[in-house]
Amino acid sequence: MTWLHLAIISPFLLAILIPFLYRYARNIHTGWFVFLLPLALFAYFLTYVPVTSGGGTHQANLPWVPSLGIYFNAYVDGLSLLFALLITGIGALVVLYSIYYLSKKTEPLHNFYVYLMMFMGAMLGVVLTDNLIVIYVFWELTSLASSLLISYWFHRQASIYGAQKSMMITVFGGFSMLGGFSLLYVMTDTFSIQEIIAQADQVVESPLFLPAMLLILLGAFTKSAQFPFHIWLPDAMEAPTPVSAYLHSATMVKAGIYLVARLTPVFGGTPEWFWLLSGFGILTLTWGSISAVRQKDLKGILAFSTISQLGLIMCLLGLGSASLYFTDADETTMYATATLAAVFHLVNHATFKGSLFMTAGIVDHETGTRDIRKLGGLMTIMPVTFTVSLIGTAAMAGLPPFNGFLSKEMFFTGVLNATELNIFNMETVGFIFPVFAWIASIFTFLYCLIMFFRTFTGKFEPSNYEVDHVHEAPKGMLISPVILGSLVIIFGFFPNLLTYTILEPAMAAIIPDSMNYIESAIFNIYHWHGFNAEIFMTLGVVAFGALLFINMGKWSALSIYQKERDPLNRAYDGSLDGLITGSQAVTRIQMTGLLRDYFAFMLVFMVMLLLYSMFYADAFAINTQDLAPISPHMWVLTILFIAATLVMPFINHRVTAIITIGVIGFLLALFFVVFRAQDLAITQLLVETVLVILLLLAFYHLPEIRKETFKPVFKLTNAVISVAVGVTVTLIAFSAHAMQHERPFGAISEYFIENTYELTGGQNMVNLILVDFRAIDTILEVLVLAIAALGVVTMIKLRMNGREDV
């Protein structure tokens, strides 16, 4: 294992130690131990900047399941390094912030930091792994860890609801994404992303191209909260503010952005990829910005603003993918501007949105409320929080000289350039991008004004707050937002600190084939470009946004403004209700409480599946040659066996029935002896003996039971099912015997006889089939038992402590 692999799994290793640190170092806040790891990882990943900025990459290979093409190959290029720095850098600041936000006296900190480290490790695995299956494993771990973090305050019903919603939507997308990954494997015979990129032409020409792309985009859209899957993100705001600042501004919601950027070399340059990304992106941008205006909760505004900003980045990635269509330098450079804007805004959004979430948390922490209808007049009481919020909201609104202004201007350039495209039908409908971009920017400016002025200006009313004394946050809680706010200013005044070290290498990973045609001047980012269309669009945004804010009293009474909850939540809640109703109906049909009905369901399904498989494979065959003669004692055993079985339905005494079952079991053991299956015979004898003895002892000690008067009733349905099962099993047995020498590999028994010792090193074939050839099945069975054992231990522990189940 290399240092790079260790960096990925180190958060998981720390997560194992956190409960012990929490228990045995109670005098020290657990966050101080955790803080050291993301800080060290950030410093470690900085060492790769010279490698990627020089156009290089680094890969460390580690076989996992090589027989299935699954390798834990860690891969660092400009794109993965950008995300790794965001994950660890913002992560370190969030942990530092949480030390002062979460009290060690009242909060179960070990749970919080275990979940947080699980999430950090999972995100690092997503962005630093080259294998699609390994990415999927880490992808689902992010969903699990984020749900645990969202439900951290599990005593709140809203937290549970938000966690379930997040899990259901993102895991649904994850399953879809796995299907897309599988189709990519069918097309390319590899799970390696870099090898798939090398076969991009073959992927595009495949009939599976469109299904694979759609399934993968479902995963990306659900994770990155694109319309209409965005509804989970506002409910996720029930998590503690450090979680919101980390997951929902810089990391988890960017996972879908990363996946889209990573696979753009495979799918980019096609009209389907272009329209799906840019179309859903611009729709999400507009919907999120309008919805943010209707919110009355600070974190609610930030949640919908995150949705909007994610739509902006997704739209830019879609527009920028058109550069892969061209080979002309001027056209490639023109449309690659959108990709550069996406990467730049990715960084900018992490800085200003992270700082805004933290200041919103400070306001909530020190005043006891986030409702903008109660807030006001905090400017002089919380001057540092006011300053950081001013910087963050100005950057998010796209005002100079902050970094958000630069990437917003580049966004306007990207959508204006899109109108000049003469491909993908853009010459007729391309105008929608600058129009909707401008409208969405007006609402973005508006909600920034609402959030800032309603919180910090106006009259201070002490009676509106749930605390006795409103004051500035502790200095320690201010460190992280101040650092992020400082980065907003630094990247605004000196954007080219990032261009050649971070942005260009990341862009080279997204559109590698087009980098040779892109002029280097594109990476020179600066504020003033003269009086062009972009600056006039910005002036229009400021003017109309300010006008709407000034006249809020005239339109804020509209019913649509009063409805904070997204209307699409009705569809989600209705679908859940439909699933519950439907499952209850199916359950009422299936769960009759009668054992014979359950057997009937299972047997009918088994017969249908087996017969269909046999017909589909044309596997029916009967060959009576080379059959061994049946000896007299076998006839005796067979007759006794059949007689004991047939007499069972007519026995109306339970003890007699138990003895008869034992006779059938012992006769079966004799069959095993005759067929020289000693292991099976011994097992059968032991199990049957213990079973009969236990049943007889149980009935001996049970109270007297009145004599049963059972009269067997003939049912045609049961007879048909019984005959069908018998015929099916008989046909399969005859067919297996007849075709055992006709297949290329011969009989399955011959395979085990020839390969058991060589492949496993053992001689007990039956045992080795269970533990080696069927190892995965056996492991899963053991896992089920382990989960059941943990459940039993947990219930006993809770009951012994006198705690009620939640």
Q: Give pLDDT, residue 634.
A: 85
pLDDT at 337 over 50: yes
pLDDT at 628 over 50: yes
* Count of Cβ atoms closer than 10 Å to residue 172 Cβ: 15
Q: How far is CA 542 from CA 290, 536, 640, in A?
A: 16, 10, 94
Q: Give pLDDT, residue 441.
A: 96
Q: How far is CA 417 from CA 42, 119, 437, 603, 718, in A?
A: 36, 38, 13, 64, 72
CA–CA separation, 144 vs 670, rounded Å? 51
In the chain, where are the structural domains located?
268-549, 590-746
What one-character DSSP code corresponds to residue 295? -
Q: Which range has the worst mean pLDDT, 135-144, 631-640, 668-677, 769-778?
A: 769-778
Helix axes 403-418, 475-493, angle to 10 degrees: 50
pLDDT at 247 over 90: no
Q: Give pLDDT, residue 519.
A: 72
Task: Look up residue 403 and give its two tokens.
Answer: 């970094």
Q: Give pLDDT, residue 806.
A: 45
Helix axes 298-320, 271-293, angle to 10 degrees: 160
Name residue 131's beta-bridge partners: 192
With CA atoms as reference, report the closest residue to 225 among 283, 301, 299. Answer: 283
Q: Give pLDDT, residue 742.
A: 62
Place of tokens 């049961």: 718
Q: Give pLDDT, residue 632.
A: 85
Give 652's pLDDT tier (boundaries 50, 70, 90): confident
Q: Is the peptide bond before 401 cis (omega within 30 degrees of 0)?
A: yes
**Helix, coil or strand: residue 115:** helix
**104-143: pLDDT as tens digits:** 888 889 999 999 999 999 999 999 999 999 999 999 999 9
Residues 6+ apart with CB under 8 A from 655: 696, 699
Read off the amino acid at residue 741: H
Q: Give pLDDT, residue 252.
A: 84
Q: How far is CA 580 from CA 160, 229, 408, 570, 593, in A?
A: 18, 21, 45, 15, 20
Mean per-residue pLDDT of the chain: 89
> Is the Cα dihedral 736, 738, 742, 745 positive or negative?
positive
Name residue 59's beta-bridge partners: 75
Most confident of 184-193, 509-518, 585-594, 792-801: 184-193
Q: Is the peptide bond before 228 cis (omega within 30 degrees of 0)?
A: yes
Q: How far is CA 223 from CA 177, 216, 648, in A?
A: 11, 11, 58
Q: Give pLDDT, residue 649.
A: 76
Q: Which range has the worst mean pLDDT, 107-116, 571-580, 589-598?
A: 589-598
Q: How far is CA 514 from CA 130, 275, 407, in A?
A: 22, 20, 21
Read off the amino acid at residue 466: E
Q: Which range has the worst mean pLDDT, 240-254, 282-296, 429-443?
A: 240-254
Produce one character per residue of 265-303: b if its CB has 16 or more CB atoms within 10 Å, e if not.
Answer: bbbbbbeebbebbbbbbbbbbbbbbbbbbbbbbbbbbbb
Give 706's pLDDT tier (boundaries 50, 70, 90): low
Q: Give pLDDT, residue 619.
A: 80
User: Are 171 and 194 contacting, i.e. CB atoms less than 8 angstroms apart?
Assistant: no
Give 712's pLDDT tier (boundaries 50, 70, 90): low
Q: Which residue has the higher pLDDT, 128 or 754?
A: 128
Mean pLDDT computed over 552-572: 82
* Count of Cβ atoms closer than 10 Å to residue 681 Cβ: 18
CA–CA separation, 7 vs 87, rounded Å? 12
User: Are 104 and 123 contacting, i.e. CB atoms less than 8 angstroms apart?
Assistant: no
Task: Look up residue 46 and give its two tokens.
Answer: 């900085």
CA–CA separation, 353 vs 303, rounded Å? 10
Read off the amino acid at residue 592: T
Residue 70's φ and ψ, nearest 5 degrees, are: -105, 115
**250-285: pLDDT as tens digits:** 788 899 999 999 999 999 989 999 999 999 999 999
Task: Look up residue 799 and give its two tokens.
Answer: 């009951």
Mean pLDDT computed over 614-638: 81
Q: Give pLDDT, residue 104.
A: 85
CA–CA separation, 200 vs 182, rounded Å? 15
